[in-house]
């Protein structure tokens, strides 16, 4: 890992703007590798406001979306390494988004969240390939454990 001092020195020694741009781009790429993007799709504004902050505290990059359609039309789909997805939303529901991603060949690990505590729902989403399901309200610890598990290689 390059120290900040080495990065600064390498920038100062750079003979031109191209070299400086390369250093900045390399720093960005290292940061992206170390901080996987976790996207949140939930129609509940309070979830969209609180979860990204919490995930950033855990060391992830986070982006929130108010609907499945908004997520699908974003530039974040290909970069997302884990998706936290509400089951019940207006428009395209969580399981429908899961199927759409499979149809597109995008295998993003999904942690579903829902306010409807029903063990049959858990069994169904896990059977369809979800990495996990959390019932709202859930603890910070449960969220971190679910995302960490989802990000593990199969």
**86 and 67, same domain (yes or no):** yes
Q: What is the pTM of this model?
A: 0.77
Hey, what are 84's tokens?
């936290």
pLDDT of the residue at 49: 96
Residues 116-134 pLDDT 10s: 888 898 899 999 999 999 9
Which CATH number belongs to the domain containing residue 48 in this structure? 3.40.50.2300
Count of the separate structural domains present in the chain: 2
Residues 18 and 45 in one domain: no
pLDDT at 30 over 70: no
* In a shared domain, residues 29 and 69: no
In this structure, are 45 and 59 located in the same domain? Answer: yes
Residue 144 and residue 88 share a domain: yes
Residues 58, 84 contacting (CB under 8 angstroms): no
Tell whether 14 and 40 lie within a shared domain: no
Give CA–CA dist 142/98, Å, rounded: 21
Q: Is the pLDDT of residue 80 over 50?
A: yes
* Whether residue 137 sits in one domain with residue 73: yes
Query: pLDDT tens, 91-102?
Result: 999 999 999 999
For residues 47 and 111, membership in a common domain is answered with yes
Mean pLDDT along residues 14-29: 37
- pLDDT at residue 11 tops 50: no
Helix, strand, coil abundance in the chain, percent, nearest 5: 50, 15, 35
> What CA–CA distance (Å, rounded) separates 100 from 145?
26
What is the domain extent for residue 7?
Answer: 1-34
- For residue 12, is pLDDT > 60? no
């Amino acid at each position: 890992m390059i120290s900040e001092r080495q990065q600064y020195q390498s920038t100062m020694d750079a003979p031109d703007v191209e070299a400086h741009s390369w250093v900045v781009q390399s720093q960005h790429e290292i940061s992206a590798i170390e901080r996987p993007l976790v996207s949140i799709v939930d129609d509940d504004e309070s979830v969209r406001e609180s979860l990204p902050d919490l995930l950033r505290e855990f060391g992830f990059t986070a982006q929130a979306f108010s609907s499945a359609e908004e997520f699908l039309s974003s530039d974040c789909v290909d970069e997302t390494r884990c998706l936290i997805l509400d089951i019940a939303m207006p428009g395209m529901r969580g399981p429908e988004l899961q199927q759409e991603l499979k149809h597109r060949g995008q295998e993003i690990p999904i942690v579903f969240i829902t306010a409807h505590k029903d063990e049959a729902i858990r069994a169904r989403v896990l059977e369809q390939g979800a990495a996990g399901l959390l019932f709202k309200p859930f603890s910070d610890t449960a969220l971190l454990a679910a995302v960490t598990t989802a990000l593990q290689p199969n």
